Amino acid sequence: MRFTTSSVFAPARSTAPTGAAGGLPPKRDLALPWVLVTLVAVPAWVLTVAQARAMGAGPGTMGTTLPLFLLLWVTMMAAMMLPSMAPVAVTWVRGIGRSSSGWARAVRTAEFVCGYLLAWTPVGAPVYVVLAGTGRLIADHPAAGHWIGLTVFLIAGLYQLGPLKYVCLRHCRAPMSHLVRHAGFRTPVCDLRVGVHHGAYCVGCCAGLTVVLVPLGVMNVVAMAGLAVVIFAEKLWSRGPLLARFVGVAFLVLAALAPFQDWLLPGLRGSMPAMSAV
């Protein structure tokens, strides 16, 4: 696979403000935002892996309260999403390069990243409700896990193949034509606002991918890593839209298999009996 960030952001090249030569700023100017994003993403993965080892990948909320779950959720989203968001943050730095430099640019990049994660934070609340509901349902009716898995994979597959996915994916693959509209706002929270704007599109783009963590296990590190690779490829690979459709079809296949294959549902398994015994 060949990833080309320049081709991803090519549509916005004529509208986004750039350096004097019209290209990316010098590497020393881009190094700081890349390091900043890395300093957030790497610890997020470390914390996520540590928490997953402590909690496991069972059904339900695993005893966490909503505030704690939201904290874990934001950490997970930072680990999964920031690698694919980093090129957008760096390109935004290119756009703001004329008006800031050095640590001021780092602060503005940090505001962008915070805005991005802020857009993902409220999504954790309905996920928590769904997990709590599925946990109680499986505790009372263990066989229901098969049908929950079928339903979630079906919804995820249809979403991946639906129009909203591709509206949001187009933005994520070429966001600067949208984000540059906010460049004229000279408010203290301009970069935070732009980060929220981009994060909202990312939520729409990745909704079908993140929802499958319910049957796969919200704290399933292998599943999170696999989904992070898919998200990265969808946004940055030249054939990302084709990959999104392939993943959608794969989810539909998993929906058909879910009632009969317990191993596909580690996040719902618990004491779930095989369908042949129901």
Worst-scoring range by mean pLDDT, 8-17, 78-87, 95-104, 115-124? 8-17
Predicted TM-score (pTM) of this structure: 0.81
Kindly state the average pLDDT of the residues 159-165: 96
**Average model confidence (pLDDT) across the chain:** 80
* Residue matched to tokens 């909203």: 164
pLDDT band at 56 (very low <50, low <70, confident <90, very high): low
DSSP one-letter code for 104: H
DSSP one-letter code for 218: T
Q: Which residues pair with 237 in a beta bridge?
A: 3
Q: What ranges make up the beta strands (E) of 221-264?
A: none
Task: For Cα atoms 218, 193, 160, give the angle at the middle one, nearest 5 degrees.
Answer: 40
Residue 21, pLDDT > 60, answer: no
Report the interhelical angle of 163-173 vs 240-257 (nearest 10°): 140
Q: How far apart are CA 42 and CA 27, in angstroms?
A: 21
Q: Which residues pair with 3 in a beta bridge?
A: 237
Q: How far apart are CA 112 and CA 93, in angstroms?
A: 10
The string of DSSP letters for 166-185 reads HHHHHHHHS-HHHHGGGTT-
Half-sphere exposure at residue 161, Cβ-oriented, CA atoms within 13 angstroms: 12
What number of residues does the chain have? 278
Residue 24's alpha-carbon distances to 20, 55, 86, 237, in angstroms, are: 9, 43, 15, 20
- 3-state class of 237 per DSSP? strand
CB 70 within 8 A of CB 121: yes
Element (H, E) at 89: helix 66-96
Residue 36's alpha-carbon distances to 92, 152, 202, in angstroms, are: 14, 35, 20
pLDDT band at 89 (very low <50, low <70, confident <90, very high): confident
pLDDT band at 57 (very low <50, low <70, confident <90, very high): low
Ramachandran area for residue 56 (φ above 0: left; ψ -120 to 50: alpha; else beta): left
pLDDT band at 27 (very low <50, low <70, confident <90, very high): low
The CA radius of gyration of the chain, in Å to the nearest whole number, is: 20
